[in-house]
Structure 1
């Protein structure tokens, strides 16, 4: 389960309902709407507010420096040839950004995947944290014009226990030409590893 805590089963059920509401209709609305609904803070300029401790319980500001933005620009430029190449660049950028953020936030040892015992631990992240942080990094990149083939969509969620799946959320990019949506899911991986990138339809059909 991506979002777990030490609270009662009743609260888990509420969390599941909220996640289900978030994915109703597989909505891909404006990314900014996600933050208010999930206790996050949208980026302000080159500053993002890194969610951690599960469910955005903690938010630590992180400012991308000019040097870091220059590195990010070069990484995206390597994927300018096609949408597929850009998605590969996105995976590399998200892994790199986690390596930059880790020492500041204390998330360098964040454990990927199911990690109930780390609920509430500063620096550890569930899928709500991960989806929010990935979206924030992508919004900064988009604001600087680094994304040529995609736009940043709102994160979405799947699973609500009754269908046999745990609630889980992911960041989303939409391919500009075709309109196809892709999941950028960093939750299954440890800090600093490339996220899982796949068509969003396939992500909805898969299990955590």
Structure 2
């Protein structure tokens, strides 16, 4: 059965484009996820690679290669994604992995954010996984162009970063 996502882009989900994973895409993703079934660390590494495949499919369908981070003042540009777009799309994809039974060591948690201007950081959002011990993991693809490997780190570490636009 085909899996279709409403992919956000244009900053703040200004545009939404339906992207359907082909049977080949789904098989490739399932194979990647199967390679990580031995440990939580292996599963997070597999999630990292699977998100890349998902994003490569998105940029192929939308027809625009997303640049890393975001260019202020470049909102409403088809295919370009801010952290709201990125975290929303990744969250939906992680829910797909969970629903398909492809996550063995993690569940999808609520998206989270860091930064508040008052602390010298621009607000920034991420998708989140939770492992069996209760540790939360950020899955943040904003720093790379579409199809690049997302950062996967503890949410606590992720929250301590982000000063001056640095990872």
User: Would you say same fold, with TM above 0.5?
Assistant: yes
The 1-side partners of 2:44 and 2:113 are apart by 20
Question: 1:66: Cα distance to partner?
Answer: 2.1
Structure with greater helix percent: 1
Contact 2:9/2:81, CA 8 A, preserved across alignment = yes
- Give unmatched runs, 5+ long, in structure 1: 1-44
Contact 2:112/2:127, CA 8 A, preserved across alignment = yes
The 1-side partners of 2:74 and 2:153 are apart by 27
> Where does residue 11 of structure 1 map in the other structure?
none
Listed one character per residue, the Cα deviations across residues 68-94 of structure 1 (whole Å, up to 9, x for unaligned) are 111111000000010001000011011
The 1-side partners of 2:23 and 2:39 are apart by 26
> Where does residue 51 of structure 2 map in the other structure?
94
Listed one character per residue, the Cα deviations across residues 1-36 of structure 1 (whole Å, up to 9, x for unaligned) are xxxxxxxxxxxxxxxxxxxxxxxxxxxxxxxxxxxx
> Where does residue 125 of structure 1 map in the other structure?
81
> Where does residue 145 of structure 2 map in the other structure?
190
Task: Find runs of 4+ consecutive structure 1 residues off by over 4 angstroms.
Answer: none
Structure with greater strand percent: 2
The 2-side partners of 1:146 and 1:153 are apart by 15
Listed one character per residue, the Cα deviations across residues 80-115 of structure 1 (whole Å, up to 9, x for unaligned) are 0100010000110111111111121134x2111242
Question: 1:117: Cα distance to partner?
Answer: 4.1
Higher relative contact order (CA closer than 8 Å, sequence separation 6+): 1
> Where does residue 120 of structure 2 map in the other structure?
164
Aligned alpha-carbon RMSD (Å): 1.2
The 2-side partners of 1:103 and 1:114 are apart by 19
The equivalent position to 1:106 in structure 2, one of 50, 59, 63, is 63
Q: How many residues in Structure 1 have an aligned counterpart in Structure 2? A: 162
The equivalent position to 2:3 in structure 1, one of 42, 46, 64, is 46
- Give unmatched runs, 5+ long, in structure 2: none
Question: 1:64: Cα distance to partner?
Answer: 1.5
> Where does residue 38 of structure 1 map in the other structure?
none
Question: 1:205: Cα distance to partner?
Answer: 1.0
